[in-house]
Structure 1
Amino acid sequence: MSELPASSETCTSHTPALRGDCPSPWGEPLARAQLKATPDDFQVVEVMGFEPSGEGEHLWLWVEKCGLNTDAVAADIAQRLGLSRQALSYSGMKDRHARTQQWFSVHWPAGAGTANAGVWSLGDEWLPQDSSNAQYRVLKQARSNRKLRRGAHAANQFVITLRQLSFIGAATRELLDERLATIAVHGVPNYIGDQRFGHGGRNIDQGLRLLAERRAGQRRRRDQRESIWLSALRSALFNRVLAARVSNQSWASYLVGDVLQLDGRGSFFQPTNDDASWPERLSAGLIHPTGPMPGAGEAAVHDAVAALEAQTLAPWQQIIDDLAAIGLPNQRRSLRLCAPDLSAQWLADDSLRLSFSLPCGAFATALLASSIDLEESPHALFAE
């Protein structure tokens, strides 16, 4: 792959020292547009990559929701079935201000309790039955011998309509189409989106406060949001490494000491001289360089990559040590995000519809922001 030009676009930051900038290899945004003007403008369909087995003690429910976050739907289903919230699970969180479809699983052995136990008997009616836009419905059900675990799905399919689109400076529709075509071929930096950090970066602030209290030996009531706060810290650290590699133009190429990841999968490996195929696979977007999600354990990288990551993260070594002390594992995440099926349809001069698929854990906003400065509706910001 040829070297990629670097320029920068800035992430809004409540904690600028940690969040910093998110440079883009493709230049400044060419247009501005409104994201999520309506829930139907942001449609997401979960792709599992496999089907329920058809038998077993877990009931899977294929749910369409609108105006609700994933956990709220799980809680409501559990209440209607007379089960504990812990009986419900799902693979991925889906946006609240959107129209989404995904699987939920219920540990509910067939025939247990009452005659209707183990069967969803409410059909496909919208729930709750009121005039609000915050509703869900069960479109189908199936039996499975396994429960859904987080991150089990393979991908998400997006259909996103951008409204009130206006070009910046001398940009044109033709230039934007060219930028999108470039992204479809080469991908974008796999930044973790603002949703992870919370409104105004509050999840980072809460995470820093949590680590400081633990370091000081202060005991506090356990909060179920702690994992979200700690994830925000690790995500911000990952973004810093990715930003450094975009700046030195190595985000999509191999550096000595890299650990590579198979596209859309959790498998990692270190290339060897015995494998002559990996450079071509890297160029084709089938494998990617990775960056750290810091925690306990030795980093798998070495040489130039280990030095770059150590230098980049040195200002936040205390945070990394605290994360390791808690026991969060040192993990890796792809630096590059590819969407080879990206397609664009102009609905009007100021309306653009984009369709694409992304692997589990990727952020659609990371793909969009490399071309378009996004403005979300106030009621849609950080909904999940």
Structure 2
Amino acid sequence: MQLIYPLNVKNEFVFNSSPRDFTVEEIPLYEFTGEGEHLVLQVRKKELTTWEMLDVISNHVGIRRRDMGYAGLKDKHAMTIQYISLPAKFEEKLKAFSHDKIKILSMVLHNNKIRVGHLKGNRFKIRLKKVLGVQKDKLDSVLKWIDENGVPNYFGNQRFGTDGNNWEDGKKLIEGSLKIRDRKTKEFLMGAYQSYLFNQWLSKRMELSHLLEKFTEAETEQVLNLPKGSLKGTKSQPNFFKLVEGDVMMHYPYGRLFTVENLEEEAKRFAEKDIAPAGLLPGKKTKRAEGTAGLIESPFAEEINLNGARRYAWIQVTDIKKTYIEEKAHYELNFVLPKGSYATNVLDVLRGGEA
């Protein structure tokens, strides 16, 4: 899968996705009440998937995993701090809980079970190694660009399985050439295909933005086989990611969908980080792009028997902090991303992707 990134740079560094060099911490959507029938645990884990961690705790207290709540799935190859919930009656049993890869950091009562997506975002801590000499200055420069502009919101490789190709089974399920009985497995694989199509669409839009950096609107229309005049008003936009007529936008970081009508005005609002373009996860009951945006989106808008959605195509990276440890050649980064976004998008822009 070819993914295109906004900066044509090449930075060399080493990043190991390991608990020593990669930490992810959930930022709750709201404060917990301190009362109620549910117990919210702040849990630190390493070398386990969220499912494996839930199994360990559910087996300890003697309940089914489905009776527990969680806000998001976290990386196995990182140190992760996340929130889960279970019935408050198990508080005493949890005081005796001990595991070499799981630590319960805190417990607090709450009125509701935690649901998937009940997050503001995630805070990432990443250590880059072998950052030598001029590489440090180059990383500083790219990080400044990221702080000012944001990054594309590709789905990360972990969405596509160990071999990166589970979306192919999702496509076969949709085409009817593969049969799987288990509903959850089917929906997961078909969802991976939705994610693949989103990434392909985003790569096409990134290609358009790259072309407009180098060529005229008319030349870009020719390269992409778009109607004459369809990119009018795009090249002069202040953002790297260029909006086109008929794009679907969302208020940022939360809010309703709407369609671009005044290109100049919406590009200004995008530059001010008030709104952001929203790409298609194809399926049922989904708002479709119109006009030029609809033409570009059409090849990736397959009929899929799942509910579709719109997903931010461009996200902001906030609370960025960096430390350079010269004697170790370590470049340490802290930053916050919205929920559902991948730290690999920041790393890939820092490293320099395909262009």
Q: Deviation per CA, 1:113-157, whole angstroms, max 9, x where unpaired? A: xxxx342443386415xxxxxx11111112222111111101000
Deviation at 1:373?
Answer: 6.4
**Hey, what's the Cα distance between the residues in 1 that align with 2:338 and 2:167?**
25
Equivalent residue, structure 1, for 2:171: 208
Q: 1:347 aligns with which of 325, 328, 332?
A: 325
- Number of equivalenced pairs: 323
Deviation at 1:277?
Answer: 7.2
Deviation at 1:208?
Answer: 2.6
Equivalent residue, structure 2, for 1:334: 312
* Contact kept? 1:104, 1:148, Cα under 8 Å: yes
Q: Deviation per CA, 1:295-316, whole angstroms, max 9, x where unpaired? A: 1135332111111111x42xxx
**Structure 1 residue 73 and structure 2 residue 53: aligned?**
yes
Per mean C-alpha deviation after superposition, the further-off stretch among 343-352 and 284-293 is 343-352
Deviation at 1:211?
Answer: 2.8
* Contact kept? 1:123, 1:138, Cα under 8 Å: no
Deviation at 1:293?
Answer: 0.5
Deviation at 1:265?
Answer: 2.3
Q: 1:35 aligns with which of 16, 23, 29?
A: 16
Deviation at 1:195?
Answer: 0.8
The 3 A distance-change label for structure 1 pair 354 and 34 is same
**Structure 1 residue 247 and structure 2 residue 207: aligned?**
yes
Equivalent residue, structure 2, for 1:356: 335
**Hey, what's the Cα distance between the residues in 2 that align with 1:192 and 1:345?**
27
**Structure 1 residue 258 and structure 2 residue 247: aligned?**
yes
Deviation at 1:371?
Answer: 1.6
The 3 A distance-change label for structure 1 pair 359 and 237 is same
**Hey, what's the Cα distance between the residues in 2 that align with 1:102 and 1:154?**
12
Matches within 5 A, 1:107-122: 108=87, 110=88, 117-122=89-94
* Contact kept? 2:173, 2:179, Cα under 8 Å: no
Equivalent residue, structure 1, for 2:5: 24
Equivalent residue, structure 2, for 1:190: 153
Residue 22 of structure 1: SS of its match in structure 2?
A: coil
**Structure 1 residue 96 and structure 2 residue 76: aligned?**
yes
**Hey, what's the Cα distance between the residues in 1 that align with 2:266 and 2:113?**
35
TM-score (norm 1): 0.77
Equivalent residue, structure 2, for 1:140: 106
RMSD between superposed Cα atoms in Å? 2.6
The one-letter code of the counterpart of 2:271 is S
**Structure 1 residue 286 and structure 2 residue 274: aligned?**
yes
Equivalent residue, structure 2, for 1:268: 257
Q: 2:122 aligns with which of 130, 134, 156?
A: 156
Deviation at 1:335?
Answer: 1.2
Q: Where in structure 2 are there 5+ consecutive unaligned residues?
A: 210-233, 235-239
The one-letter code of the counterpart of 1:205 is E
Deviation at 1:24?
Answer: 1.3
Query: Identity over aligned residues, as a percent?
Result: 28
**Hey, what's the Cα distance between the residues in 1 that align with 2:49 and 2:343?**
17
Residue 150 of structure 1: SS of its match in structure 2?
A: coil
**Hey, what's the Cα distance between the residues in 2 that align with 1:246 and 1:240?**
10
TM-score (norm 2): 0.83
**Hey, what's the Cα distance between the residues in 2 that align with 1:51 and 1:258?**
35
